[in-house]
Chains A and B, each alone.
Chain A
């Protein structure tokens, strides 16, 4: 396997220009929404609002304006996290979702049949159906570009280097140094999300530097694998089946006893 590659997204230098969103759409030839008609969210300066089957990069705007002149505007360029232990791969019934030689997670669009179980399994709400192909789609970490030694379109287009691409080990070191730098500068809330290989889902190959709790950015604090429920849920169902079977047998036995009792009464009556 080639070296594990990924993204380090430093949210503190994101300016919300959405060049990554555009570059991603452009390179991957993703369709526009509503046939390209302007669509305003009406609730945010961000009009994309979410990742989808046709939006594989999305700059989240965290707009915290409780009072005039008092507020904070956080930005995070969201993307598939390319989990080291991927819930989507676990549940995919067609084998469409694979791990590549770069340790990234890719959905093969010609294999996927659009059952959508991966959408429910993703702990980050990344995957969705692409309305044009009818299949589940998400960021491929520009597998086609990486295969020929190019960097992904989004990080290439990012004007502030908020999105950095490279070998995971190198990115982790760079991210650690950046956290120390921010802390030294007084931003004590600086932290990494998903950089720890010992952490949830074995770490994320697309990890983030945040300056607040993950949920502020719409990220789950403790992402988990869907398979955590498999053994208990299956065992309880088997137990349920055994109990229903037993209830059925008891009911039939009860009926048989009644039949015998009725027969005895009838024969006694006949004897009299």
Chain B
């Protein structure tokens, strides 16, 4: 017997949404990591903190653009925020897309303020008001509020998928936490990769250690996610199953083996923390692909359920 979710219709959420989920996750994760380092780190962390805030702001802008152009009617994007017929605010706390639209807007605001502060600190901006943003108590408030919103942005996308009736997405409640963990690991990986180009960065061992722990959690969440799918896991009984295995191997296990020093060379090439980070990013992106596209391909044609 087919699961009930197999009798539904795909919403045509494809590449724009996949890239949004990936970039949004990284943006949220980067803000959180920068905020954490700002609040509890050391002076030498400043360059990486600023880098994280820049990525968060850029990610929020790209996310907004991707979401608007994915709409059937991009000119009506503001209907998410304002009731078009009454002019009243539009907000439904029980609709993840409604909460998500407001969440992205708020996150974008905090990321903008944090990026302004960072630009002042960097000497790229000589606006005194921006300088205030880089000082306490404003910087602390922005870090705390933006950090919480960063978590929200990384995780709500999975919750949004689960609050549907589509195969895979609605068959497990673990997609939100999985995306959140993946957002955190991908963000740390991107910071590790990019910080290699910034001479002022002292070291990224802390980020590497953080990434390892989060990857272990991600692996556990992914296993539970697949188990909780139950009979809906049959949507992976095709080439997508191989992609899922690839995500586990390349996106989680290989970086973990490199990170724990169990894999130092491959065909004569030295595997560094940078290699591990690149694999984590690839895995994070492919995780979105492998959780979205197989579901998109299940549909009812006539009276029959068709799946790839």
Instruction: Say yes or no: is A50 at the interface (Cβ < 8 Å to chain B).
Output: yes
Residue in B4, B42, B164, B181 whose CB lies within 8 Å of A121: B164
Which residue on chain B has the smallest CB distance to residue A235?
B173
Shortest distance from the beta carbon of B64 to any chain A beta carbon, whole Å:
14
A contact residues, range: 35 or more
Instruction: Say yes or no: is A129 at the interface (Cβ < 8 Å to chain B).
Output: yes
Q: How many contacts A-B (CB < 8 Å)?
A: 234
Please report the C-alpha to C-alpha distance between residue A3 and residue B139 in the assembled complex, in whole angstroms: 58
Chain A contacts for B169, CB-based, 8 A: 120
Do B4 and A117 touch across chains, with their CB atoms under 8 A apart?
Answer: no
Do A96 and B176 touch across chains, with their CB atoms under 8 A apart?
Answer: no
Do A220 and B7 touch across chains, with their CB atoms under 8 A apart?
Answer: yes
Interface residues as binary, A212-238 with B (CB distance below 8 Å gives 1, 0 otherwise): 000111111111101101101110110
User: Provided the pairs A116-B11, A223-B4 are in contact, do residues A236 and B300 lie with their beta carbons within 8 angstroms?
Assistant: no
Total count of chain B residues near the partner, CB < 8 A:
74
Instruction: Say yes or no: is B79 at the interface (Cβ < 8 Å to chain A).
Output: yes
Please report the C-alpha to C-alpha distance between residue A74 and residue B83 in the assembled complex, in whole angstroms: 44
Instruction: Say yes or no: is B213 at the interface (Cβ < 8 Å to chain A).
Output: yes
Most buried by A among B42, B163, B181: B163
Please report the C-alpha to C-alpha distance between residue A46 and residue B302 in the assembled complex, in whole angstroms: 8
Instruction: Say yes or no: is B214 at the interface (Cβ < 8 Å to chain A).
Output: yes
Do B156 and A237 touch across chains, with their CB atoms under 8 A apart?
Answer: yes
Residue in A43, A91, A120, A234 whose CB lies within 8 Å of B8: A120
Interface residues as binary, B239-276 with A (CB distance below 8 Å gives 1, 0 otherwise): 00000000000000000000000000000000000000
Instruction: Say yes or no: is A49 at the interface (Cβ < 8 Å to chain B).
Output: yes
Do A123 and B10 touch across chains, with their CB atoms under 8 A apart?
Answer: no
Instruction: Say yes or no: is B205 at the interface (Cβ < 8 Å to chain A).
Output: yes
Residue in A134, A218, A259 whose CB lies within 8 Å of B72: A134
Chain B contacts for A243, CB-based, 8 A: 217
Chain A contacts for B101, CB-based, 8 A: 93
Identify 18 new A-B residue pairs, CB closer than 8 A, beyond the known A244-B217, A252-B37: A41-B302, A50-B9, A90-B95, A91-B164, A111-B84, A113-B80, A119-B11, A120-B161, A123-B165, A134-B73, A135-B72, A218-B305, A230-B94, A241-B151, A244-B180, A251-B209, A254-B206, A259-B42
